[in-house]
Structure 1
């Protein structure tokens, strides 16, 4: 007879299952249907998924009832079937689990990623209805997952405790900041839930292992409660009309050990994970003997930074005047360096301006600013582009994502750039909003990256998106993104050719970490007439290297690079990262004039050193295009 859950996770690390929704999606079930209704219409499919995870090594199964509350089911006309769907979900899981494994009743947030108009009484009524149905079929415990607000998960926990003393696992979906959406630090939220009777606390969904680990490391120590960790398989990428996840089983297994070392006693997977991931996790944890929960200095609540900006505004200097060569002109004549510096996630721009000035002094030809990359909210790159021109005297190159604006907003945005004299832009698709820090936000995608390139060039012809003539023409130099880190480079080049046919004037690649791939890119793009800027991003640490390789779409590191970065951190890690980047710069300069440096974590000193290295290698130091401030 198996011990109860409370006894089990004191003695061992239990392996949970992986994703249900995204796995059903992989099996061919479309988005836009109720996966919970499959408990009634296709119970054999749900049972098969459960059995696959058990065969992979899972000991704890979640019922397929995440959204089986009246509010969520009501969107499909199923609100009258709450009791039936939840009860059947438990029966299917219990039949698959057998006598030796555990079944927990899964309940998700009703608010979800976006706050909805529902009263406290309605919220409680929805929770009560689902809880009583799950408990009636005899679950071993309850799992509250993907909650963004303390008050909502607290309400759900209180409802459970009204009916049962079964073990309860409470999991938040948070980003690296480590705050709930209603303003509580995770340490504060954990203390409240512990006081309300939660048995296990933890995290799932929203981010991959690194994002969750960054929050785990802020927890007050010593921990007085086991942790539960169910990360996504990295960040999702949208490829050929489908969502795909990059983190492989081996990487998830390594991260599982790291989580166990930090007090996790239940480890599984969320979006993008499969039986293959769970098998790797189970193998890695086989025979793992949990140590006492680690001790560490107490970490208090993070206070917001005081907003500082003491720079004086100065006049704009012309970036679009005819006498100034464009980046396309420059890169045809000499090596040319573009450096990316991320806009800040808060309102303090001091370090951003300092970094911009340092990069200008180092001789960078342009500063490029992403448009809320990875769907994480950052300061407007239009506003910062203006400041880069007016305060720093440096050319800005601004990214424009299809994700955030419809065609009306996109044309308005571009007209604003033209008015400010910002003429270099990069058209990108943009990472889906559901995987960023505001996952309830809508991804617009009115246009594809091909279409937005064509529309920008249409503005250059003096024609609005609507087809109506404009009183003057824009002067945009339009770039396109290129990901060479793919299995079939020739297919990626064919896609690139279509972007060039749409009007792209230059190309900027994702980071490349293999000199041989740089040479192959040159070979396969030699017929293209537009210049290519090879992306190089110095690694900051071994952990940074593993995160990029396993969790960020479009980035792959060679085994040799990962081995050189393994275990390095701090100054030692950054030094090795710069050394590797210089080797890549050597390879890139042999084949291309365009160098595109990406600054990690606002560590602009690394990009300054690499920019200076380019001029040292080329034997020239170009004069700045803009006046000194």
Structure 2
């Protein structure tokens, strides 16, 4: 007879299962349906997934009920099936695995980081209805997962505690920060939740191992509170019409040991993880003895944004309105440098303007700004581009994502750009919304990047997306993105050729960290009739290198680069990152006139140094 869940976690690390929804997606089941309804329609499919995780070594299983509440099920006309779906979820899991496994009823956030018009009373009713069904079905405990607000977690926990004394696990979604979405520090949130009766607390979803590690490193142990960790398999990329997660099983397994050292006693996987990831975790944790001490935090530098001092908004003289050559004209004449500089995630533009001024003084030819990269909400690049042009005389290049705007919003955005004289843009697909900081938001994708390029060029002909005349012609210069960090470069180039056929004027690549790959990119693309800006992003630390290589779609670091960054952080890490960047520039500049530098974590001085290195090699800085 197996011990109780509380007792087991007091003695050893228990491995949980992996993803359900994304695994079903990988198996070919369609999106846009209720996977929870499969408990009734396809119970054999759900049972088989549980069985695969059991065979991989998992011994704690979440029921397939994450969104099985009245609010979420009503979108599919299933609001009257709440009880049946939840009870079936417990029964399927129980029958699919051995007697040595624990079955916990999965209860997901209803607000999902959005306030919307859902009252506390509605939340209580929804949680009560679902939890009652899970308990009637015979669950060994409850898992409240992917919560963003302490307020909502407390509501769900209080409902659970009114209904049962069984163990309750609570998990927040984090991107590496220190607070919940409603502004409460995780340390305080954990203490409040423990006082309200939570048995196990931790994190899942929203980020891969790196983000959760950074959050855990900032926490102090709460007496008698085991931690639970279920990370994603890195960040998802959108490749050939499918979502693909980049973290390999061995990487996730290595981080499972780090989680255990930080106090995690329940470790599993969330989005993108598979039975192979869980099997690797089980192997890594075999024989693991829980530590009584705790390793010191490393400063949380990997993948994080370091805050800078607030400064007054910089005032600069308005630049003359004289016509200037486009980036296309410049890059045909000389080396040309574009630097990416992220807009703020808050309402303070001081640091942003300070960095932009430093980049402008270093002689960059254009400052480019992402469009909510990684689906994380930032200040709109449209007004920030206007400020850079008006106050600093800079040339802004705005990214525009297919994800966030429908056809109406996209044309409106572009018309606004035209009105204020911002005529350079980079078209991207955009990372899926569900993996950003507002996962309840919708990914629009009214058009592909190919279609958007064509439609922007249609504006240049004075024709609206609808086909109606616009009275004037726009003058957009359109860039397209290119990821050379792929197994089959020739296929990626074929896709790139289609973007050029659609009207792309020049190309900007994902960061490259290998001189040999730079050579391969040159040889594979030299037949193209448009300029290519080769992408470089300096690394700031070993942790940052690990994060980029394992979790960020479209980025691969060479083994040599990772070895050189080993053990480095802080100033020494950034110094090595700049040195590696200079060596990559040495390899790139003889082949490419276009240089695209991506500023890491707001360390704009690194981009300044690399920009000045370019001008040092060419013997002059542009006037």
State if a TM-score over 0.5 links the two structures: yes
In the alignment, which residue of structure 1 is the partner of 2:314? 311
Change (3 A) 1:350 1:75: closer
Alignment of 1:481-560 (within 5 A): 481-560=481-560
Cα deviation digits, residues 209-235 of structure 1 (max 9, x gap): 122222222223465411101111111
Distance (Å, rounded) in 2 between the aligned partners of 1:237 and 1:182 = 28
Distance (Å, rounded) in 1 between the aligned partners of 2:295 and 2:586 = 45
Mean Cα deviation higher: 211-220 or 140-149 = 211-220
In the alignment, which residue of structure 1 is the partner of 2:249? 249
| Residue 116 of structure 1, CA deviation | 4.3
In the alignment, which residue of structure 1 is the partner of 2:178? 178
| Residue 306 of structure 1, CA deviation | 9.5
Alignment of 1:172-211 (within 5 A): 172-211=172-211
Change (3 A) 1:614 1:305: closer
Change (3 A) 1:476 1:84: closer
| Residue 535 of structure 1, CA deviation | 0.1
| Residue 469 of structure 1, CA deviation | 2.3
Distance (Å, rounded) in 2 between the aligned partners of 1:47 and 1:205 = 23
| Residue 620 of structure 1, CA deviation | 2.8
Contact between 1:17 and 1:59, CA under 8 Å: does it hold in 2?
A: yes
Change (3 A) 1:555 1:199: same
Distance (Å, rounded) in 1 between the aligned partners of 2:593 and 2:328 = 10
In the alignment, which residue of structure 2 is the partner of 1:348? 348
Distance (Å, rounded) in 1 between the aligned partners of 2:426 and 2:70 = 45
Distance (Å, rounded) in 2 between the aligned partners of 1:350 and 1:390 = 16
| Residue 618 of structure 1, CA deviation | 2.2
Cα deviation digits, residues 127-164 of structure 1 (max 9, x gap): 22222222233322211111122222212211221222
Distance (Å, rounded) in 2 between the aligned partners of 1:417 and 1:518 = 33
Change (3 A) 1:349 1:79: closer
| Residue 177 of structure 1, CA deviation | 3.1
Distance (Å, rounded) in 2 between the aligned partners of 1:171 and 1:190 = 10
Are 2:60 and 1:60 equivalent residues in the alignment? yes
Cα deviation digits, residues 25-54 of structure 1 (max 9, x gap): 111211122222222222222121111111
Mean Cα deviation higher: 175-184 or 281-290 = 175-184
In the alignment, which residue of structure 1 is the partner of 2:450? 450
Distance (Å, rounded) in 2 between the aligned partners of 1:466 and 1:45 = 44
Change (3 A) 1:540 1:296: closer
Distance (Å, rounded) in 1 between the aligned partners of 2:607 and 2:72 = 48
Contact between 1:73 and 1:79, CA under 8 Å: does it hold in 2?
A: yes
Mean Cα deviation higher: 36-45 or 22-31 = 36-45
When the two structures are superposed, what TM-score results if normalisation uses the length of structure 1?
A: 0.94
Change (3 A) 1:458 1:77: closer
In the alignment, which residue of structure 2 is the partner of 1:627? none
Alignment of 1:49-448 (within 5 A): 49-221=49-221, 224-292=224-292, 294=294, 309-312=312-315, 314-318=317-321, 321-322=322-323, 324-448=324-448
Mean Cα deviation higher: 200-209 or 347-356 = 347-356
Mean Cα deviation higher: 218-227 or 146-155 = 218-227
In the alignment, which residue of structure 2 is the partner of 1:30? 30
Query: Please, which runs of 5 or more residues in structure 1 have no aligned partner?
Result: 624-629
Change (3 A) 1:121 1:422: closer
Q: Which runs of 4+ in 1 moved over 6 A?
A: 304-307
Contact between 1:63 and 1:106, CA under 8 Å: does it hold in 2?
A: yes
Alignment length, in residue pairs?
615
Distance (Å, rounded) in 1 between the aligned partners of 2:575 and 2:66 = 46
Contact between 1:18 and 1:53, CA under 8 Å: does it hold in 2?
A: yes
Contact between 2:375 and 2:433, CA under 8 Å: does it hold in 1?
A: yes
Distance (Å, rounded) in 1 between the aligned partners of 2:400 and 2:77 = 39
Cα deviation digits, residues 544-595 of structure 1 (max 9, x gap): 1111111111111122212221222111111111121111111111211111
Change (3 A) 1:362 1:441: same
In the alignment, which residue of structure 2 is the partner of 1:43? 43
Cα deviation digits, residues 492-532 of structure 1 (max 9, x gap): 11111111111111110000111111111111111101000
Cα deviation digits, residues 399-458 of structure 1 (max 9, x gap): 111222222222222222222222221111111111111112222222221122122222
Distance (Å, rounded) in 2 between the aligned partners of 1:578 and 1:306 = 23
In the alignment, which residue of structure 2 is the partner of 1:463? 463
CA root-mean-square deviation: 2.0
| Residue 120 of structure 1, CA deviation | 2.9
Distance (Å, rounded) in 2 between the aligned partners of 1:155 and 1:462 = 55
Distance (Å, rounded) in 2 between the aligned partners of 1:608 and 1:296 = 32
Change (3 A) 1:153 1:598: same
